[in-house]
Amino acid sequence: MFTEHNFRKAGWITCFSIFLLVLFGGIVRATGSGMGCPDWPKCFGKYIPPTHLDQLPENYENYFLEKRLKKVSKYVKLLKAIGLNKQADAIANDPKIAEPEAFSVSSTWIEYLNRLFGALTGLFALATFVLSFQFIKKKTKIFICTFTGIIVILFNAWLGSIVVATNLLPGVVTLHYLAAFLAVGLFMWPLTNGLNGFGVTKKWPLLIITCFVLILIQTVTGTWSREVADGLIKSNNLITKDATFNIHAMGIIFTIHRYLALLILGIFIYIYYKNKMTAQKKQIFWICILIISQIIAGSINIWFILPPIAQTYHIFAGGIILGIAMHLSIQIFKTKALWQ
C-alpha cells in the first residue's frame, strides 16, 4: 500500500478531482446557486437538504440569517485581530450580508452536490497525505509539500464557509477560487519531473513562466470581473436600455481581462511554432485551443448576457489552461540544466 506508485496515483486523482471541483464551482456560479445552502457545513441544518419548502420552519429565513450573522461577527473579529480593520468594517457595514436567502430546491441541490464533491476531493487529498508518510525521512520535501497542500485544502474549506456567511462577498470568492489552484500546485509539484534533453535556449522556458504569471493575472481579473457582474445583476445594471451587455459598467479590470487573453494566445502560438520542445508541444497546442475556445465562450457571454453553459465552460476552461501552464512551469523549474 505505502508505495511511491500508489502515492503518485492518489496525488493525480486529487489534482484531477480539484479540477472537477472547479467545474462544479462554475456550475454553481453560472446558475446563481452560491447561496443555495445558507449555512455550512450542513445545508438548511440538515446533512441531506430539503426538497420542498414544507420541510422548513416558517421562520427559516430569519433563523439561518441569524446563524450566518453570528459567523460573520466572528470573522470580523478575526480580521480586526490581525490588523485588517478596514476590511472588517467594510464587511460589518455591508447591507447585502444581512439579506436573507429564500429557499430554491434547484439552487440548494446544486450547491449541495458541489459540497459533496468537495468532501470527496478532501478524502482523496487525505489519502495522498497519508501515503506521503513514507517520504518523511528519505524525501522530506515531498511530505512537506503534500502536508502544505492538505493545509491549503482545509483552509479553503473554511474559506468556503466564509463565502456563504458573507453572502458571496467580492474578493473572498476570488480568494476561494485561487486557493484551489494553490492546492493543485502543491500536490502537483512532487508528482512532476523535470525535462530531459531540453534542447532549446533559456528564453523559451522563461517565456512560458511569464505566460503562467500572465494567466494567473488573467484568472484574477476574470474572477473579479465575475463578481462585478454579480453586483450589476443585483442592482439591475448589467443590461443596458438597448438590451445589451453593459461593458462600460464592468470597468477597466474587465477590459484588461479581455485583451490579456489575446496577448497570452499570441505568445503561446509564437512559442509553439518557434521552439523545439517536442515533448511539450502537445501541451502548448492544447493551451492554444483552449484559449481560443475560452475567448469564444467569453464572447458568447457578452452577446447573450451570461448564458449558464457558456459561463460554466469559460470558468472550467480557464482552470484547465492554468493547470496545464502550471504543469509546464513546474517541469521547467525542476530542470536543473536550465538554471546552470
Element housing 199 (H / E): none
Give, rounded to a whole angstrom, the gap between the first and last alpha carbons of the chain. 38
pLDDT tens over the chain, length 340 residues: 788 899 999 999 999 999 999 889 889 888 888 888 888 888 888 889 999 988 888 888 888 888 888 888 888 898 888 887 887 887 888 777 888 878 899 999 999 999 999 999 999 999 999 999 999 988 899 999 999 999 999 999 888 888 877 777 777 888 888 999 999 999 999 999 877 654 445 667 888 899 999 999 999 999 989 888 888 887 889 999 888 999 999 999 999 999 999 999 999 999 888 776 566 788 889 999 999 999 999 999 999 999 999 999 999 999 999 999 999 999 888 886 666 5
Residues 35 and 168 sit within 8 Å (Cβ to Cβ): yes
C-alpha cell of residue 80: 480586526
Q: What is the dihedral of CA 295, 300, 301, 302, to 10 degrees?
A: 100
Alpha helices in the chain, H assignment, sequence order: 4-30, 60-81, 85-92, 105-131, 140-165, 172-188, 203-234, 247-250, 252-274, 278-303, 308-333
Per-residue DSSP letters for 78-146? HHHHTT-HHHHHHHHT-GGGG------HHHHHHHHHHHHHHHHHHHHHHHHHHHGGGGTTT-HHHHHHH
Give the burial class of 185: count Cβ atoms within 10 A of its Cβ; 0-12 exposed, 13-18 middle, 19 or more buried: buried
> Can you tell me the distance from the alpha carbon of 11 to that of 285, in angstroms, rounded to the nearest whole number?
25
Amino acid making up residue 289: I
Give the pTM: 0.87
Torsions phi, psi for 166 (to 5 deg) = -95, 15
Count CA atoms within 13 Å of residue 186 on its CB side. 22
